[in-house]
């Protein structure tokens, strides 16, 4: 019945059924095994260009297109990381305040020096930004905020408001961002 539907003779069907795999099919199968080994050895990072280079280093003559095609058929994909993009613009013409802290991180009295920093946290839903304010005297976190953007109204301001609620300001205060090295850091003196 199937032979009639496909318009193929019975003898051709049985000949096709009993035939051995072609030389190219056997080569491809062996090549996929080598590709899989190299891909596993690279912890899934290598794509077709690097795998092709590795195969050629092992004296296997193959094109990148063939490796890519075989990887696609075998469902082998490289793990790609997004390129890191800086979000801080250090090239500006705004005035920079003098460095009052001058890397003196030992403070005796609470409420004299607060430092702040922002860090990036990758989540399944995208990047989150965590802003933390610490009193250098006791290294206690006195304010923090989590946001989806780097806008000051969503990061520094809520953290600042929490900090002054948790530890009111009674004397002069130096407030700075830490984590920026080898540059003059703007400091707010209150």
Q: Give pLDDT, residue 29.
A: 92
Reported for 15-23, long-range contacts at CB under 8 A and 24+ positions apart, including other chains, are none
Give the CA-trace dihedral at 145, 151, 154, 157, to 10 degrees: 80
Rounded Cα distance, 117 and 109, in Å = 21
Query: Residue ranges of the alpha helices (H) in the chain?
Result: 2-6, 10-18, 23-41, 48-57, 64-73, 156-166
Q: What percent of the chain has pLDDT over 90?
A: 33
Task: Give 105-140 pLDDT, tens digit per residue.
Answer: 788 888 888 888 888 888 888 888 999 999 888 889
Task: Give 133-174 pLDDT, tens digit per residue.
Answer: 998 888 899 999 999 988 888 888 999 999 999 988 888 888
Task: Give 21-54 pLDDT, tens digit per residue.
Answer: 889 999 999 999 999 999 999 888 889 999 999 9
Strands 140-147, 126-135: pairing is antiparallel
Q: Which residues lie across from 134 on neighbouring strands?
A: 115, 141
Residues in the chain: 190
Report yes or no: 187 and 104 within 8 Å, Cβ to Cβ.
Answer: no
Task: Give 167-178 pLDDT, tens digit per residue.
Answer: 888 888 888 776
């Amino acid at each position: 019945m199937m032979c009639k539907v496909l318009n193929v003779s019975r003898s051709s069907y049985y000949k096709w059924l009993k035939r051995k795999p072609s030389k190219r099919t056997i080569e491809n199968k062996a090549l996929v095994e080598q590709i899989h080994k190299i891909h596993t050895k690279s912890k899934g990072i290598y794509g077709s260009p690097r795998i092709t280079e590795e195969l050629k280093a092992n004296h296997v003559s193959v094109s990148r297109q063939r490796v890519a095609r075989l990887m696609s058929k075998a469902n082998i994909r490289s793990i790609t990381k997004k390129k890191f993009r800086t979000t801080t613009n250090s090239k500006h013409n705004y005035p920079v305040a003098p460095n009052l802290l001058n890397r003196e991180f030992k403070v005796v009295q609470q409420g004299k020096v607060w430092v702040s920093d922002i860090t990036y946290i990758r989540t399944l839903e995208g990047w989150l930004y965590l802003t933390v304010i610490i009193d250098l005297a006791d290294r206690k976190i006195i304010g923090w905020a989590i946001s989806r953007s780097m806008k000051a109204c969503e990061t520094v301001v809520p953290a600042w408001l929490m900090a002054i609620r948790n530890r009111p300001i009674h004397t002069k205060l130096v407030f700075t961002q830490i984590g920026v090295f080898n540059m003059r850091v703007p400091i707010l003196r209150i």
